Amino acid sequence: MPRIDAYESELLSAFEKGALKSVATKAELSRFKAAARATAIKDKRVNIRLSSGDLQDIQVKALEEGMPYQTLIASILHKYVAGRLSERGGKRSPAGPKQKRAATRRAGKVDV
């Protein structure tokens, strides 16, 4: 389980004691439930080919987030098509040493 800070610990404690009350209206709750159902329905299968380096990096990120890597990929794609995911600053930042090693590894080259 991921570590939680003091604020999160306080919220968790309040939740477990039943001290939190919803402020959402019935209409909002209904809308949220419908959106959750529509998002959760996975009725299509897609096969994609990824480089082994990219897949390894995705699997590491998923492990850090505490979720299966396929769920992470689906989440990223969903956020992209919903317009909630975009490139940072519209430009790619210069690659640091770690990114250069990863790119080199993906390209099948050997670090020197």
pLDDT for 53 equals 96
Per DSSP, the residues of 41-99 read -----------HHHHHHHHHHHHHHTS-HHHHHHHHHHHHHTT----GGGSPPPP-HHH
pLDDT for 14 equals 94
Q: What is the rounded distance in angstroms from the CA atom of residue 53 to the CA atom of residue 9?
A: 36
Residues 24-36, mean pLDDT to the nearest whole number: 86
Q: Is residue 7 part of a domain?
A: no
Tally of domains in the chain: 1
**Three-class SS state of 7:** helix
Q: Is residue 50 part of a domain?
A: yes
Asked whether 107 and 52 are in contact (CB, 8 A), the reply is no
Q: Is residue 24 part of a domain?
A: no
Q: Is residue 38 part of a domain?
A: no
pLDDT at 112 over 80: no
pLDDT for 110 equals 45
Q: Is residue 111 part of a domain?
A: no
Q: How do residues 49-70 score in pLDDT, each as one tens digit?
A: 999 999 999 999 999 998 999 9
